[in-house]
Structure 1
Amino acid sequence: MSGFGAGFRSALQAMFADPAARAVMIGAVLLYSFFYPAAYRHQVASDLPIAVVDADHSATSRELIRHVDALLAVRVVSQPADLGQAKQQLLRGEVDGIVLIPQRLERDILRGGSGQLVLLGNGAYLSRASTILNGLAEGITGFGRQQAVRQAAFMGAPQAAPLQLVQRPLYNTREGYGSSVVPGVSELIVHQTLLLGIGVLLGSRRAQLGRRLQFDLPTLSGMALAFTVVAVCGLLYYVGFTAWAQDYPRGGNIPGMLLAVLLSALATVPFGMFIASFFDTRERAFQYVTAVSIPLFFLSNLSWPAIASPPALVALAKMLPTTAGINAIVRTQQLGARLPEIAGELLNLLLLALLYGSLVLWRLHGRRRH
C-alpha cells in the first residue's frame, strides 16, 4: 500500500509541478468548456442576408416578400432590379442567397396554376446555403398553402387546410447544432487533454532517464488511479456544470451516465498510458493529439452513422475508448437511455480497460521503480 500511495501522490505532484501537464489536464479542460461552445452559442443560423428580385411587381409578390422577410432563417437586405445585380451582390459576399420572383406569378396563381420561384444559394458556404434554401423552402411552401386556401375560398370550396404538420423535437428541443455536437466533443476534449498530460509526464521522464520506463505494480496502479481521478473529474465537469451553464440537454439517466463516465475513464487511462509508453520526448504527445483528434471524432459515429461507415472502420472504432465512451455518455445524458440500451458500449469499455491495462503492464511493469 505504501507503493500504491506513493505512486498516486507522485503522479498528482508531477502533474501540478509540470506547467505543460497542468495546463493541458486542468487549464485546457476549463478553457475549452467556455471557448469551444462559444462558436455555437446561437445554436441555429438566423437572419442570413438574401436578395429578392421581384419581376412580377404584384400584390402577391409583395406579400411573398413580407412573408420571406419574417422568416427566422433569412433577412431581406436588398431588392435589386434584375438577377444580374443580385448575382454581383452574391459574389461580393453582401448576400448569401437569392430569391427570384418571375413575371406573371400572380396571374398563374389566379388562373389556378402553380407559380414558380427560383432559389439560389452560395455553394462556397454549404452550411449557410443549406440553412437558407431549407428555410426558404419551408416558408414559401407555407405561403403557397395559404394562397391555395384563399383560392379555394374564392371558388367556394372549404377554407380549412386539409393537413397541418406540427413538429415537436423529443430531445434536442432547440434543434441546435451546439446541443448536437458539443456534448460529444466534450468527452473527446477530456480524452485528448488526458492523453496530452500523460504523454507529457511519461515522455519527460523517459527523456530524462534515456531508457524505457519501468514501475513496480503498486506504483503503476497508484499512477493509474491518479489519472483516473483526473479523467472522472473532467468528464463530470462537462456533463454537469458545462451542460447546465450552456443549457444543453441533460439529466436523462444520471446513474447510467455516472457508470458510463467511470468506465470511460477506466478505459481511457490505460489507453493513454500505453500510447505514452512509446513517446521518447514530451513533444510526441502534442504531435499525436494533433494528428488523431478529428479522426477520433468521426470514428465515434456521433456525426456520421455507423451503418453508413465501412465495416473495417467500424471495427477499428471499437478499439478506441472514445467511440463507446462518447456514445454511452451522450445517450444516457441527453436521451435517457437505460442500461440495457447501452450494454454494448459499457461492455466494450470494460473489455478495452482490461486489454489496455494488460498492454500497460507489458510496457511499463518491471522490477525497478523510476
Structure 2
Amino acid sequence: MLNYLLQGLRMTGQFFIAELRAVIKDAGVFLLFVIAIVAYSIIYSTAYSNEVLREMPVAVIDQDMTVLSRQYSRMVDATEQLDVVKKVMSMHEAEQSFYAGEVKGVVLIPADFEKDIYRGVQTSVSIYGDASYFLVYKQTLSGAAFATSTFSAGVEVNKLLAGGARMEQAMAQRDPLSTKTYKLYNPSSGYGSFLMPGLILIILQQTLLIGIGMMGGTRKERFRNQYQLPKGLQKGQIAPIIFGKTGAYMLIYLIDSIFALILVHYWFGFPDKAKMLDVFILLIPFLLAVSFMGLAISVLFKRREHSLMFLLFLSPAVLFLSGLSWPATEIPAFLYNLAHVFPSTLMIPAYLRVRTMGVGLHDVSFELIFMMGQVVVYFVLAYFAFRYSLSRIKRS
C-alpha cells in the first residue's frame, strides 16, 4: 500500500513538472496563463480608473436671459457631473451640437422663468439627455436634478427670510426632514470598484479553461488517439496525472491571483476589507474546480483552436449570467441555475462579500461548500473522461 502511494506521488510529481514545461513551451498557452492575466487586469482597471463620469458637456438654452436664469445656469455648470460648454439661442442649435457629439445633454430654461418665480407660480426646466447611453444619461439627469433642487431651496429660503423668519427657521421649514446617505463598501460609487473585482475572477476562470482546452487539443493534434495520456498508462494511474496537471495549473494561477487580486487591487484602490487568508481559502476550491472542469472538457477538443472558439463563445454568457452586470434575482431562474455549472457564478458574490464588505467565511459558507462540491464533481468527471480516453487508446 505504501509503495503504491509513493509510486502515485512520484507520478504526480513527474506529471506536474511535465505540465509546467509544456505550458512554458507552448507560446499560446503561456500567453493566456501569464501575459493575458497581466494585460487584462491592468488594461481594464486603467480604463475604469476614473470610476465615475464627471464634467459631462451640456448646452444651455436660456430663453429668459434674466439674473435668476443665469444664476441657475451657473449652478448647473458648478455641479461635478456637468460642464456647460455651450449657450445657444434655439433648440435647433442645441440639436446640431447634440448630433455632432459636442454635447451629451441640453438644459432648456423657459421664458418667464424669473417672472414666474417671483409670482410664486411653479415653473419647470426641461432636461434632454442621451438615454441610449445609460451612464451618460444618469449623470446628466442627476447633475441637473441636484442643481435644480439646490436652486429651488435657495428661492424658498429667501422667500421665508423676506417674510421675517430667521435663517434657522427658514432652513427647518424648507427641509423639515433631512436625509443622511451613507455609501457603504463603494464610497466613490465608482464603476471600476463595482465591476473589476468580479470581472478579474471571470478572466481567471476563462483563461484557465481555454488554456487547458488548448493543451488537450494540441496533444490530440500531435499524437493521434492519445487523448492527453501517455502510452502504457493503467487505470490506477489516472488520478496522478490529473493531480499533477492540476498542481501545475494551481501554481501558475495562484501566482496570477497574487498579481491580479492583490497588487492590482492595491494599485487602483479597489475596496478591500478582507483578510487575505479568507480570500485564498475561497480561491483554492474555485481554482481547483475550474482546473478539474477544464481537464474534464479538454478531451472533447480534437484541435487546438476548438477550445478557443467554444469557450470564447461562452465567455459573454458567463459574464451576463454571473449576476455581476445585472442582479441575479432579475435573471430568469432557469438561466441562473444553469450558470451554476461555472464555478464563477457563486464565487463572485462570495468573493465580493468577503473582499468589499469584510464578512467572514461563515457568512459565505453555502458558496464555499457548493464550490467544494464542484471540486468533487469535476474531479470525478475528469477521471471518467480520462478513463474513457484510456479505453479508446487500448482499442486503437
TM-score scaled to structure 2, two decimals? 0.89
Taking the TM superposition and a 5 Å limit, the aligned residue runs for 1:6-17 are 6-17=14-25
1:269-304 alpha-carbon deviations (Å, 9 max, x no partner): 111111222111110121123211111012111222
Aligned residue in 2 for 1:23:
31
One-letter identity of the residue aligned with 1:66: R
Task: Work out whether 1:159 is the aligned partner of 2:170.
Answer: yes
Pick one of 55, 59, 63 that aligns with 1:47. Answer: 55
Pick one of 67, 74, 89 that aligns with 1:81. Answer: 89
Do the aligned residues in 2 keep the contact of 1:25 with 1:196 (CA within 8 Å)?
A: no
Aligned residue in 1 for 2:195:
181
Aligned residue in 2 for 1:248:
270
Aligned residue in 2 for 1:213:
228
Task: Work out whether 1:338 is the aligned partner of 2:364.
Answer: no
One-letter identity of the residue aligned with 1:82: S
Task: Work out whether 1:190 is the aligned partner of 2:204.
Answer: yes
Q: Structure 2: where are the runs of 5+ without partners? A: 1-8
Q: CA RMSD in A?
A: 1.7
The SS at the match of 1:98 is strand
Aligned residue in 2 for 1:264:
286
* Higher-helix-fraction structure: 2
1:340 Cα deviation from its structure 2 partner: 2.2
Aligned residue in 2 for 1:4:
12
Aligned residue in 2 for 1:125:
133
1:231 Cα deviation from its structure 2 partner: 2.4
One-letter identity of the residue aligned with 1:179: S
One-letter identity of the residue aligned with 2:278: G
Task: Work out whether 1:285 is the aligned partner of 2:307.
Answer: yes
Do the aligned residues in 2 keep the contact of 1:253 with 1:337 (CA within 8 Å)?
A: no
In 1: Cα distance, 2:18 partner to 2:147 partner: 62
1:141-175 alpha-carbon deviations (Å, 9 max, x no partner): 12212221112222234321424433231111111
Task: Work out whether 1:63 is the aligned partner of 2:85.
Answer: no
1:124 Cα deviation from its structure 2 partner: 3.8
One-letter identity of the residue aligned with 1:165: T
- Decide whether aligned partners of structure 1 residues 253 and 313 sit closer, same or farther in structure 2, where only a CA change above 3 A counts: farther
1:232 Cα deviation from its structure 2 partner: 2.4
The SS at the match of 1:159 is helix
1:153-205 alpha-carbon deviations (Å, 9 max, x no partner): 22234321424433231111111000000111001111111112211111100
In 1: Cα distance, 2:180 partner to 2:60 partner: 28
The SS at the match of 1:114 is coil
Aligned residue in 2 for 1:105:
113
TM-score scaled to structure 1, two decimals? 0.95
Q: Structure 1: where are the runs of 5+ without partners? A: none
* Same amino acid, percent of matched pairs: 28
Shifted more, 73-82 versus 308-317: the winner is 308-317
Shifted more, 5-14 versus 34-43: the winner is 34-43
In 1: Cα distance, 2:215 partner to 2:339 partner: 27
The SS at the match of 1:53 is strand
Shifted more, 126-135 versus 307-316: the winner is 126-135
Structure showing greater Rg: 2
One-letter identity of the residue aligned with 1:74: L
The SS at the match of 1:243 is helix
One-letter identity of the residue aligned with 1:356: Y
The SS at the match of 1:49 is strand
- Decide whether aligned partners of structure 1 residues 314 and 124 sit closer, same or farther in structure 2, where only a CA change above 3 A counts: closer
The SS at the match of 1:79 is strand
Task: Work out whether 1:229 is the aligned partner of 2:251.
Answer: yes
Pick one of 297, 304, 308 that aligns with 2:330. Answer: 308
The SS at the match of 1:75 is strand
Do the aligned residues in 2 keep the contact of 1:50 with 1:74 (CA within 8 Å)?
A: yes
In 1: Cα distance, 2:49 partner to 2:90 partner: 36
- Decide whether aligned partners of structure 1 residues 252 and 113 sit closer, same or farther in structure 2, where only a CA change above 3 A counts: farther
Task: Work out whether 1:93 is the aligned partner of 2:101.
Answer: yes
1:343-369 alpha-carbon deviations (Å, 9 max, x no partner): 111111111111111000011144889
Aligned residue in 2 for 1:202:
216
Do the aligned residues in 2 keep the contact of 1:21 with 1:197 (CA within 8 Å)?
A: yes
In 1: Cα distance, 2:275 partner to 2:324 partner: 19
1:70 Cα deviation from its structure 2 partner: 0.7
1:213 Cα deviation from its structure 2 partner: 3.4
